[in-house]
Structure 1
Amino acid sequence: MSGRYDHLDESAVRDRPSRKGSRPRTKDRPAHEDAVVGMVVGVDRGRYTTRIGEVTVVAMRARELGRTRIVVGDEVAMVGDTSGERDTLARIVRVEDRETVLRRSADDSDTVERVIVANADQLVVVTALADPEPRSRMVDRCLVAAYDAGMDPLLVLTKADLASPEEFLARYTALDVPHVITRGTANGDLDADAVTRVQEQLTGRTSVLVGHSGVGKSTLVNALVPDADRATGAVNSVTGRGRHTSTSAVALELPGGGWVVDTPGVRSFGLGHVDPATFIEHFEDLAPGTAECPRGCSHDEPDCGLDTYVGSGAAGPAGAARLESLRRLLRSRTGDDRS
């Protein structure tokens, strides 16, 4: 049966060039040497609010970044319109190397880390002395996260007008963690002297505030940064827990210099990404005693060499208390509920 194309031979067929692969691909990315570096101060639905000096610039991520996560505190390189004028949008093309990373996991069995804040140098653990009741295990876990991230910890104990801080602070004496105690006034404000003491600890630094909902983080932020206007909420009288008022992390510039990052209240602080074997590195006075530990020692078992080391007095007069603090932190990571 003859067809309409029988009179054509192969020489008459014209090859159509394939679009795929017509332009050679390269893995080399533009250097963007003209990019301007700024700090991420807020993240909201794919838009990143950044600060370049005194200029606030809104940016989006470049496709070439792939799945690279960008968080508050990140230093990012941007191209495009970085004027900060209304309705302008820059493009983030690079995330600079991070000096510190504050992380947590969903729970202790989850080794996938969630980066909370980058490039902070101080972790401020805010806990109420009452309403809601203080949870020392949460504080212990935050201290572990701070040590793991290479950040300095600071305890801020709120609502001292409702309960005494002495008993709670006794747990942390051996760790030598600095602390500030705040109390409310009759009109609902924070004691001005206490706010000043917190300011002294935060000025010139990048500090992250972490704590349960209802402990007074947002109230403290509003006192430190008067125009912050962070929402505050009451504690549920039935559950004893606070209501989430901050929904995302945000960095706010302190009037005296430095930054404070307010984070949403947390119910738990998973440490699945932290290796308990590294805890001893943060106890320089105890570390030499591990030379007599059996292989694979957890430093919280009967044959641990630290007991002999501390008993000999080599760790100093606070050695026993320091060792118990180390073991309490280890238990907070492993889920051991021994007191």
Structure 2
Amino acid sequence: METKIFKPQEISQAAALLRQGELVSFPTETVYGLGAVVNNEASVKAVYQAKGRPSDNPLIVHVDSPDMVWHYAAKNADALALMKAFWPGPLTIILPILPGSLLPCVTGGLQTAAFRMPNSPATLALIRETGIPIVGPSANTSGKPSPTTAQHVYHDLGGKIAGILDDGPTKVGLESTVIDLSVKPAAILRPGYINADDLAPIIGAVETEQHHVKANEVPKAPGMKYKHYAPSAQVLIVRQQQDFTAAVQNELTKADRPLGVLAFDQQLAQLNSSANSHQILTYSLGENITTAAQDLFAGLRFFDDHPQVKVILAAGVTEEKLGLAYMNRLRKAAGGQFYQK
């Protein structure tokens, strides 16, 4: 199959493919999604097949307005308030659905579904042109780092899907916050750019203790059950309070191959002034947590293009606000492994 790259002015062509039951990747402010129309069972199942995604991992339903949600879910005052405050934007809302309104392959067989209105004019126009919501997990091979450019999507899914709507690099870089409004109190199932401090003034208390999904349990949101975001190399997280340069130098003594380093500019500057810096391959996370969130997945993907790197030391941060979301993704990429001296 030829995978066509569409520019924003070619949205009508991408929408036509979706209506025909084909798969088209689309941009959001967070990561690129893999789209299929929500009411076509064969197309939705093809999303799982293209990604190699477990079939009990539910999909996010992308809409072009809050009004589109109420065709599938009963109106909810808290949801309306959050939509008014944060949509379009990086917030996914889980709601009980109307009986029979969505295919079981969309919801993972649950009576809840996740809805989001992305802050991407190109994708909102794509949904309007298609005339129906689009399901959209991240457009990558399941378990690998999420894509933040159209080129990342093509690398993983070229030849497997019909098209990619290319609107440049994403702005946020980490997937949306997922808030579950089907429970009381509401609970954050996946941290993201929008945090509990942002949500609580609008809907009251928000549970932030993440639920651990059992082996026989269907997760309510993507990214809860299976290993995610992992490059081929082993990622080791260097805690913020550890000496990053010392960790790199110590790790270099253990192997005779280049070491991957994913770190902030200040940390990289210190490395460049130390000995043996030629034995490391580096990727910058920029100056702060905002740039780190934007660049994390691109950095993890960078090392997949350098198979000589078998170990990556990655900079950890304080787990608060956006740092909580960053560390959530990094822990999954590392399989929970931290650097040990």
TM-score (norm 1): 0.25
Could you say which structure has the higher helix fraction? 2
Task: Tell which has more relative contact order, 1 or 2 (C-alpha 8 A, sep 6+).
Answer: 2
Give the TM-score normalised by structure 2. Answer: 0.25
